[in-house]
Structure 1
Amino acid sequence: MRTNKRVGALLREGGEVLPTRMVLVGAYYLMMFNEIDCKVELSHLPFENLRYRDRTVLILGKDGNGKFILGDKKGFYPEGIVRMIGGGINDGEDVLSAAIRETEEELGVKEPADIFVPLIQVNVEGTFEGEKFTHTVYVYFLPLTDKQLVSGDDVSDVVRMSEKEYRQLVTNYFGLSSDNFFEHPGGKFSWGDYGKVYGFIHEVVLDEVLERNL
C-alpha cells in the first residue's frame, strides 16, 4: 500500500537528478522516499534482517548501457537469485551515509551524496505464529555511468541485468520454496519467506524506477 508519508534527503537546487517526487524547501529540493507497506505471513521464524535488525539500506545501480547493477553472494543465495547491494544501517548512522558506505564497500566506488536518488521506504511486517517482526528497508537509485566496479565485502560478483533479466529475477524470488532452508548459527530460515519480502521489494523498486524514468 502506498502512503503519503515521506522521508527526504537534501539536494542543491539545480542538481542533475530531479525525480518527480520532491518539494522545494528554501534553496533545496527535498527528494522523497515513496513509503510502501509489505505485510507477509511467514512459514518459519524469519531471516536475520527481519528478526534481528531494525533498518537496512539497498542501492539499485544502473550503468551507461541501461543495465541494472546488483550483487551476487556465492554460496549463500539459491540458484537464480541475486540482490541489490546494501546492508544494515549502523546505530547512529543516517540512511544516506549508510548508502554511501555500502556502495564503497560492495562496489569499490565512493559516490557523492547528491547523486543518490531516494526511491522507496518499505515497512516490512512479517507474522509467524501470531508474533510480529518488523523491519524498514530504504532503497536508493544510483547512476553509475562509466564506473569501474570491483566487488567487495560479502559481495562476490557484480551482476548487470537488463530489464527483462531483472523481471525474471523477481519471478525467481517469488518462486522460492518455503521448504528450502538456509542453516545458520542462530537456527534456520525459509528461502520462501525471504523471497516473499525481497521479491516484493525488487518488484516495487523497478516500478518506481520506470515510473520516474530514471
Structure 2
Amino acid sequence: MPVTLPLPLRKLTVPSIGRRRVTTQVVATTTALCAGFGLFAAGADSDNEKINTVAATAVAQAPAEPAAAPAPAQPAAQPVSFPFQIPGIPLPPPPRPTTVRPVDAVVSSGFGPRWGANHFGIDFAGNQGVPIKSVTDGTVIEAGPATGFGLWVRVQQDDGTVGVYGHMQDILVQVGQPVRAGDVIATVGSRGQSTGPHLHYEVHQPGVGKIDPQPWFAARGMDVMNFPG
C-alpha cells in the first residue's frame, strides 16, 4: 500500500517496492565487491607465500660466502734514533773538545807547598816518550830550553792564559804554530830538575800570575785529578 505524505512532500514519495529493489541491488553489489576483494586478497597472500618460499629456497641453496681474510698486522713503529743518517748525506763529525788532558797519566803532585818550596803546577806521572797534547786551542809562543825545565813549550791558550809544559823529551812544535786541543806538541821526558819522567803543567793568568790548574780545569768541565787508568 502506498504511503501518503503531506502535499508539500509528495514529489519525494517513493514506492516501497522501488526502495526494496534499490536496497537489494546495493546489497548485492556490495556483496559482490567484498567477494572480489576477498578473492584478490587471497590471491595476493598466495603470491606472497610463493615469493617468500622461492626466496627462502634460493638463500638456502646459495653457496656460503668465504669469510673475509683478517687484515695483515701492521709492523710496530720503530723508534727514531738521533742523529740519524739520510742516505747519500754523511753525518757531521762530532763536536771537537775544547779542553783535553795533557797526558794520559795520573796526577802525582798537585799545586802548593812541597819540600819546603812552592810547587806552581801539576805533575803527571807519564812514562818516557808518552805523547803530550795541547790542553786547549792556541798558539805556541815559546819552545826550547828553559832553566829548571830542561825543555819547555809555552802556549797562548784560548782564554788568554798561558799553558807551560816542562821536562819534555822531544819538542814537536815551533814558535808561532797554531795548535788545537788534543794536538801532540811534545813527548814526556825527565830533563831539567826532575826525579823521573813526568810532565809539569802550569797555568799563568795575565795580571795574576801562576794559578792552581785544578780549579781552572774544573771551570772548563774537567776533573783532572780523576784518571780511570
**Which is bigger in relative contact order (C-alpha 8 A, separation at least 6)?**
1
Q: Which has the higher strand share?
A: 1
Judge same fold: TM > 0.5, yes or no.
no
TM superposition score normalised by structure 1: 0.24
